Amino acid sequence: MTKGIIDDAAVAHFNDHGFVLIRAMLDSEETALLAHAAREDRVLDQHSFGRADGEGGTVRLSLWNHPTETIYGMIARCESIVGTMEKLLGGEVYHYHSKMIMKDPLVGGAWAWHQDYGYWYQNGNLFPHMASAFIAVDPATRDNGCLQVIRGSHHCGRIDHVLTGEQAGANMERVNELLKRQELVYVEMDPGDVVFFHANTLHRSDQNKSQHPRWSMICSYNAARNNPYQDSEHPRYTPLLKVPDAKIREYGLRRFSAADDQAAWLVADRAHLAQKLSR
């Protein structure tokens, strides 16, 4: 079973540092089901696309807006993860989107330094009452491009972002000054570990130059009280129906199917990405 809603000490850590790592939030069986489902999911693969990292590599990912009746949806809606998000963000949350990051051996690209709110601000979200749950599907190490965060960087507020390759990265003058004052943390994780991080926490990752994959699933949430004032490719407030953690096992290997609502997918060709990220 998933580990349960985090305690007050973990919330305080999140508020102080901009992130909190929960070990083994998904157990070995749940994580194995997720890994097997994702790697055998032809629809997930068909909807994946690459994003150039500006360093000669490409990040492959697949994004969807609605949780869906799949193992991915049960994870995104489970009481432990959603309850944790509600505790971190101080009230009701809804599913903003989920994605699978597919950092394959030797070819998985890097992510530039960025804040998620650097993007989501453009979508009409007036406040950074937003956060993500980063779930390790594979071991995440420094060798295969694990997540990096700047401790406490969420306190500096939103930083301007500029286009680098096909990614929008934070203004590096600001980032470099922050790195002189704040700790750089390499978030090494085992499968089933979950790191919750604030939408203004600066984060990045290196290319995967190892022989091992580094796949991860990221579920992002917005506070219900932060309903965007304009339409975008991500949804406005829609009530999120939480499910018991046991649903993860029950749905097991239930993957996406060709019959799934195509509106669930965030279709983003390269021209559209460049246009959005350069604003």
Q: How far apart are CA 241 and CA 243, in angstroms?
A: 7
Please report whether residue 96 resides in a domain.
yes
Please report whether residue 216 resides in a domain.
yes
Please report whether residue 223 resides in a domain.
yes
Confidence of residue 272 (pLDDT cuts 50, 70, 90): very low
Q: How far apart are CA 73 and CA 77, in angstroms?
A: 6
User: Picking from 11-20, 31-40, 60-69, 100-109, which range would have the lowest pLDDT averaged per residue?
Assistant: 100-109
Give the per-residue pLDDT at 111.
Answer: 84
Phi-psi label, residue 56: left if phi above 0, alpha if psi -120 to 50, beta otherwise? left
* Mean pLDDT, residues 92-121 taken together: 92
Confidence of residue 267 (pLDDT cuts 50, 70, 90): very low
* Mean pLDDT, residues 155-174 taken together: 86
Give the per-residue pLDDT at 275.
Answer: 40
Q: How far apart are CA 56 and CA 59, in angstroms?
A: 10
**What's 153's DSSP letter?**
G
Over 80: is that where the pLDDT of 167 sits?
no
| Portion of the chain with pLDDT greater than 70, in percent | 88
The β-bridge relationship of strands 203-205 and 147-150 is antiparallel
Q: What is the pTM of this model?
A: 0.92
207-224 pLDDT, tens digit each: 999 999 999 999 999 999
Please report whether residue 1 resides in a domain.
no
Q: How far apart are CA 266 and CA 68, in angstroms?
A: 13
> Phi and psi of 266, rounded to 5°?
-90, 100
User: Picking from 78-87, 98-107, 201-210, 253-262, which range would have the lowest pLDDT averaged per residue?
Assistant: 253-262
Over 70: is that where the pLDDT of 269 sits?
no
CATH number of the domain to which 219 belongs? 2.60.120.620
Phi-psi label, residue 6: left if phi above 0, alpha if psi -120 to 50, beta otherwise? beta
Is 209 strand, coil or helix? coil
Please report whether residue 41 resides in a domain.
yes
Give the per-residue pLDDT at 58.
Answer: 77
Please report whether residue 2 resides in a domain.
no
Please report whether residue 62 resides in a domain.
yes
Over 60: is that where the pLDDT of 273 sits?
no
Give the per-residue pLDDT at 270.
Answer: 35
Domain region containing 217: 8-277
**What's 91's DSSP letter?**
S
Confidence of residue 191 (pLDDT cuts 50, 70, 90): very high
Domain count of the fold of the chain: 1
